[in-house]
Chains A and B, each alone.
Chain A
Amino acid sequence: MSRERVAIALAAIFILIRCWTALPPRFQSDEQKSFGAALLTFDPYGHQPPPPSYPVYVAAGRLLHFFIRRPLPTLLALSVGSALAGFVLFSIAFGRLLRAPWIGIAAALALYVSPPVRYLSSHTAAEPLAFALLAAALLFWLRGEDVSFAIALALAIGVRPQLCVAVIAWLVTASVLRPAWRGLVAFVATLAISFEPVVAGVGIDRLQYFVANAIAAERLRSVSGSLSAVLHAFVVEPWGMGTLVVFAAAALGLAGALIRREKALFPLAAFTVAHLLFAVAAGTRIESVRPFVPALIGISLFAAAAVPAKWRLS
């Protein structure tokens, strides 16, 4: 086994321990309880789970629930397992993107030890599974498997529909760099299949009302807090006092990638920028930094990209 693989395994054990020690004994909110109840009764119209219904997350939970049999352990196992898978896949993918395996591992580790990601990875949340699918998508794209890449991206939207703007930005950028019509067809088909249970559960006749209602509720939640307070939290929480340094490094890394025309990094750059803009414009304020968390994927990567090439150990 290569030294990189040993390092990934050790880091994964470290993440597992950190997640394990933070597992809650019960659901922490009504939203989490609603996810638990959705494993038994998927009722999107009755807000179980809450809009936008997270159909692939519920499906994954139901599959696991068949084996684990209790809702809370099921959803926690899904979060922790997804976090481990996501870390491993991001480590490999980042290493390939930066052509520096150790930097890739460090970037993925930095992502998964950040308090917001660690919190989500040890609680009932859709983000860990969405992150794992995004990591898989990145790896598929690097391997030239365009159909699998598109399917993984579409499934990530099915897991956490709030990612749709950023994921579409990613897909469009990737398609410009390497056109793949079969991938686009697979993306649309997977999205349609993923959301069919929501449409069936709500009913065609009530769908328009359901969507309008959900958007109105999200708007209400997004204006019920202070954006400046959320942004302030966002520049403090991810890595404590070092967050600003990471952000600055990420900006440098992004600028360097653009200057050097490192096209392989463009799709993730589009994802990160699109998601930050989306989170500012429509993110739910009362959830504090949570709507911004997916952007940490790109921020981790670009901060690592700022490391001078001569320091990158291969």
Chain B
Amino acid sequence: MALGTPAALWEFDEVLFAHAVAHYDPLAHHPPPPGYPVFIFVAQIVRRVAPSNFAALVSVNFAASAIGFVFLALAFGRIAGQAAGILAALLFYLSPSMLVHSTLAMSEPGAVALLAAALYFLPVSDSVCGPASAGRPAEAGPHTSPAAFGFFAALAVGWRPQFAIFVLPMLVASMFVARTWRDRAIALIVFTVVCVAWLIPLASAVGGLERLIPFERQQAMIVAAHDADVSRSGWTPATIARTFIVDPWGPALIAWPVLLAIGVGVTRVWRDPRAAPILIGGAAYLAFALAVMDPADSVRYAIPFMLAAALPAAMGIAHLRPNQTYAIAALFGAASIIYSSSLLVQRSTSMPPALMAARDIESRTTPDAVILYELPLWPHATYWLSGRRLFRPDDGLQRFFDSKAPMWLYADGDSDVSGSRQFSWAASDAYSALTRNHYRVVTTIPVPPERRFRPLAGVRAFEREVDGDEWRWLDQDAALQLPSLGATAVLLRLGLPQAAPFADNVVTVTSDRSPLGRVRVVRGGQTRVTLPLPAGASILRFHSDRAYRPAMVAGSLNRDPRRLGVRLHELVLQP
């Protein structure tokens, strides 16, 4: 874990959590919804002795992962035996997903530790099953405690509210296997009281209970519209299942043996009532993840499911190879490290590209420079470049397209624009499979006046590939306003992607004064053309002969509902 500790903030949510440690403001998405009140509360306490927000968050997670390992080994050891319990904890914490996420400034490690603690105190008798208990009343094991179970389960939800998807079914299942009605009542009461205890500060931070509900409802609607719909563009159910179930365990060579062990283990554990709450929680979480969650984040979102799956995996291995459990754990750990070492080493020995790019902007721009940031870099820009003139690209262009003020784009991905500076980590399978594949390459791109324009209508937001291809989609009819530079010509680069449903498209370009020309663009290609501009022209209009909505294309997996004509890759005014 120490070797995998990151050097600085890196992912989107990490930076928002760092913002929140400085000032807890859920309405400003500091932290992101749904609020994470317990996590931020603990991090703020640690921040009093930690040198930075980042150090506070990472310290919390470092300690949480160590504690979580112990609780998980003990909790699973109660069900599967000591060796299998330790093996299960090793399989979980040495998995590629946890090697990457256990020391990030994210909420998962702490929530996992609290969940592991809850499982440890699960109020179910150790002798509730098996021949030894036949004819005897169920007895409490030495560590069962309904109060502690309810307490830690509620804290896990308060730490990371998404864990409710696991915890609530687990809680319901635990009611069926609890020893006595008294245990059930205590667990439920403690759970409710602790949930209310963390809910009050969250409600207070968003302005009261009456505003908390719309706040959370709005987030749920975003999840429904984005995570459960648009973000699944191009994904088949099979690939979604693979990305949530297989990928978190690493490449096929590592993952399939683990899945095989899970299969064997399930046949051995599913009748054990002590395991029922864990398996039911894990299954419910997986079902929800497959139906609703963003596949791009699958490896991180799969963590609760992996925790539940580690138990049958360990039991399967212990059944198949009872004398080699630790050797198998060592082999699994080595394979996992080999797979993810590229990402882990770069992350812990060098500053993230996003931070390097922010420092580059700091060092080579004057305070009056306009800094445009792409959406994935919004938290980073507001954290590392606070005090500068920060804008979303279209907002900045609306205001400063005709200004002489220097303008820079802080971009998530590469660019071939002259004067750009690229900051990157080396590519690896692990980076693309275990992360959202953002921030590996971050570029600072100058936006000189001749490359600026004001989007008026039908000009979509910037999009970019990590390899430097960048564009804006134009609607069938689009218009933009040019700056008053006295340009005599405009260079345009228009393109159509390979996935377009028509072989070519013809775009008619007109200015507010006269037609400028027609440009034919073929599928999979780009057309570069220079068109003369009449004196004083300030508006450019584009009309594409054809347009399509990707979501409406028959047989397409794309869920993008926008109407798209052509891509505008480049616009440069010429004197």
- Output the nearest chain B residue to A58 by Cβ-Cβ distance: B338
Please give, as numbers and ranges, the residues of chain B lying within 8 Å of A196 by CB-CB distance: 252-253
12 contacts between A and B (CB under 8 A): A40-B345, A41-B426, A41-B427, A42-B428, A62-B342, A63-B334, A65-B345, A66-B337, A66-B338, A69-B345, A197-B251, A200-B252
Please give, as numbers and ranges, the residues of chain B lying within 8 Å of A65 by CB-CB distance: 341, 345
The answer to whether A59 and B338 have CB atoms under 8 Å apart is: yes
Mask of A95-126 contacts with B, CB within 8 angstroms, 1/0:
00000000000000000000000000000000
The answer to whether B346 and A40 have CB atoms under 8 Å apart is: yes
- Output the nearest chain B residue to A59 by Cβ-Cβ distance: B338
The answer to whether A63 and B341 have CB atoms under 8 Å apart is: yes
Does A37 count as interface, using CB distance less than 8 angstroms? yes
- Output the nearest chain B residue to A66 by Cβ-Cβ distance: B341
Does A165 count as interface, using CB distance less than 8 angstroms? no
Does B344 count as interface, using CB distance less than 8 angstroms? yes
Whole-angstrom CA separation of A37 from B426 in the bound complex: 9
Q: Give, as a whole number of angstroms, the nearest-CB distance from A87 to chain B.
A: 24
Q: Determine which of A66, A67, A193 lies in contact with B253 in the assembled complex, contact meaning CB atoms within 8 Å.
A: A193
Q: Determine which of A40, A67, A69, A197 lies in contact with B426 in the assembled complex, contact meaning CB atoms within 8 Å.
A: A40
The answer to whether A66 and B251 have CB atoms under 8 Å apart is: no
Within 8 A of B (CB), among A56-103: 59, 62-63, 65-67, 69
The answer to whether B426 and A62 have CB atoms under 8 Å apart is: no
Other A-B pairs beyond A41-B428, A66-B341, A66-B344, 4, CB < 8 Å:
A59-B338, A62-B338, A63-B337, A63-B338
Does B349 count as interface, using CB distance less than 8 angstroms? yes
Does A39 count as interface, using CB distance less than 8 angstroms? yes
Whole-angstrom CA separation of A124 from B346 in the bound complex: 21
* CB-CB nearest 5 A-B residue pairs: A40-B426, A66-B341, A40-B342, A62-B338, A62-B341
- Output the nearest chain B residue to A200 by Cβ-Cβ distance: B251
Q: Give, as a whole number of angstroms, the nearest-CB distance from A296 to chain B.
A: 30
Please give, as numbers and ranges, the residues of chain B lying within 8 Å of A62 by CB-CB distance: 337-338, 341-342
Within 8 A of B (CB), among A150-197: 193, 196-197
Tell me how many residues of A have a C-beta within 8 Å of chain B: 17
The answer to whether A66 and B428 have CB atoms under 8 Å apart is: no
Please give, as numbers and ranges, the residues of chain A lying within 8 Å of B129 by CB-CB distance: none
Does B3 count as interface, using CB distance less than 8 angstroms? yes
Does B429 count as interface, using CB distance less than 8 angstroms? yes
- Output the nearest chain B residue to A71 by Cβ-Cβ distance: B345
Within 8 A of A (CB), among B238-262: 251-253
Q: Give, as a whole number of angstroms, the nearest-CB distance from A189 to chain B.
A: 11
Please give, as numbers and ranges, the residues of chain B lying within 8 Å of A193 by CB-CB distance: 253
Please give, as numbers and ranges, the residues of chain A lying within 8 Å of B346 by CB-CB distance: 40
Within 8 A of A (CB), among B161-208: none
Q: Give, as a whole number of angstroms, the nearest-CB distance from B330 to chain A.
A: 11
Q: Determine which of B3, B251, B342, B349 lies in contact with A41 in the assembled complex, contact meaning CB atoms within 8 Å.
A: B342
- Output the nearest chain A residue to B429 by Cβ-Cβ distance: A42
- Output the nearest chain B residue to A37 by Cβ-Cβ distance: B426
Whole-angstrom CA separation of A297 from B344 in the bound complex: 38
Please give, as numbers and ranges, the residues of chain B lying within 8 Å of A201 by CB-CB distance: 429
Please give, as numbers and ranges, the residues of chain B lying within 8 Å of A59 by CB-CB distance: 338
- Output the nearest chain B residue to A40 by Cβ-Cβ distance: B426
Mask of B1-32 contacts with A, CB within 8 angstroms, 1/0:
00100000000000000000000000000000
Whole-angstrom CA separation of A299 from B109 in the bound complex: 56
Whole-angstrom CA separation of A200 from B337 in the bound complex: 18
| Given A66-B337, A69-B349, also A39-B251 (CB < 8 A) | no
The answer to whether A66 and B429 have CB atoms under 8 Å apart is: no
Please give, as numbers and ranges, the residues of chain B lying within 8 Å of A69 by CB-CB distance: 345, 348-349
Q: Give, as a whole number of angstroms, the nearest-CB distance from A70 to chain B.
A: 8
Whole-angstrom CA separation of A37 from B337 in the bound complex: 17
Please give, as numbers and ranges, the residues of chain A lying within 8 Å of B426 by CB-CB distance: 37, 40-41
Q: Give, as a whole number of angstroms, the nearest-CB distance from A298 to chain B.
A: 31
Mask of A10-46 contacts with B, CB within 8 angstroms, 1/0:
0000000000000000000000000001011110000
Q: Determine which of A66, A197, A200 lies in contact with B3 in the assembled complex, contact meaning CB atoms within 8 Å.
A: A66
Q: Give, as a whole number of angstroms, the nearest-CB distance from A34 to chain B.
A: 13
- Output the nearest chain A residue to B339 by Cβ-Cβ distance: A62
Please give, as numbers and ranges, the residues of chain A lying within 8 Å of B342 by CB-CB distance: 39-42, 62
Mask of B251-295 contacts with A, CB within 8 angstroms, 1/0:
111000000000000000000000000000000000000000000
Q: Give, as a whole number of angstroms, the nearest-CB distance from A197 to chain B.
A: 7
Q: Give, as a whole number of angstroms, the nearest-CB distance from A66 to chain B.
A: 4
The answer to whether A66 and B252 have CB atoms under 8 Å apart is: no
The answer to whether B427 and A66 have CB atoms under 8 Å apart is: no
Whole-angstrom CA separation of A203 from B491 in the bound complex: 39
The answer to whether B344 and A197 have CB atoms under 8 Å apart is: no
Mask of B389-425 contacts with A, CB within 8 angstroms, 1/0:
0000000000000000000000000000000000000
Whole-angstrom CA separation of A62 from B3 in the bound complex: 14
- Output the nearest chain A residue to B333 by Cβ-Cβ distance: A63
- Output the nearest chain A residue to B426 by Cβ-Cβ distance: A40
Whole-angstrom CA separation of A65 from B426 in the bound complex: 14
Please give, as numbers and ranges, the residues of chain A lying within 8 Å of B338 by CB-CB distance: 59, 62-63, 66
- Output the nearest chain A residue to B344 by Cβ-Cβ distance: A66
- Output the nearest chain A residue to B427 by Cβ-Cβ distance: A41
Whole-angstrom CA separation of A42 from B334 in the bound complex: 17
- Output the nearest chain A residue to B334 by Cβ-Cβ distance: A63
Whole-angstrom CA separation of A67 from B341 in the bound complex: 9
Please give, as numbers and ranges, the residues of chain A lying within 8 Å of B334 by CB-CB distance: 63
Q: Give, as a whole number of angstroms, the nearest-CB distance from B331 to chain A.
A: 11
Whole-angstrom CA separation of A196 from B349 in the bound complex: 29
Whole-angstrom CA separation of A40 from B428 in the bound complex: 7
Q: Give, as a whole number of angstroms, the nearest-CB distance from A293 to chain B.
A: 27
Whole-angstrom CA separation of A62 from B253 in the bound complex: 16
Please give, as numbers and ranges, the residues of chain A lying within 8 Å of B345 by CB-CB distance: 40, 65-66, 69
Whole-angstrom CA separation of A40 from B251 in the bound complex: 16
Please give, as numbers and ranges, the residues of chain A lying within 8 Å of B349 by CB-CB distance: 69
Please give, as numbers and ranges, the residues of chain A lying within 8 Å of B3 by CB-CB distance: 66-67
Whole-angstrom CA separation of A88 from B239 in the bound complex: 49
Whole-angstrom CA separation of A134 from B334 in the bound complex: 21
Whole-angstrom CA separation of A201 from B253 in the bound complex: 13
- Output the nearest chain A residue to B99 by Cβ-Cβ distance: A66
Please give, as numbers and ranges, the residues of chain B lying within 8 Å of A67 by CB-CB distance: 3
Whole-angstrom CA separation of A37 from B349 in the bound complex: 15
Q: Give, as a whole number of angstroms, the nearest-CB distance from B257 to chain A.
A: 10
Q: Give, as a whole number of angstroms, the nearest-CB distance from A265 to chain B.
A: 32
Whole-angstrom CA separation of A65 from B253 in the bound complex: 20
Whole-angstrom CA separation of A41 from B493 in the bound complex: 33
Q: Give, as a whole number of angstroms, the nearest-CB distance from B335 to chain A.
A: 8
> Which interface residue of B252, B338, B426 has the most chain A CB atoms within 10 A?
B338
Q: Give, as a whole number of angstroms, the nearest-CB distance from B246 to chain A.
A: 13
Whole-angstrom CA separation of A108 from B337 in the bound complex: 33
Please give, as numbers and ranges, the residues of chain A lying within 8 Å of B337 by CB-CB distance: 62-63, 66
Whole-angstrom CA separation of A40 from B252 in the bound complex: 19
Please give, as numbers and ranges, the residues of chain A lying within 8 Å of B341 by CB-CB distance: 39, 62-63, 65-66
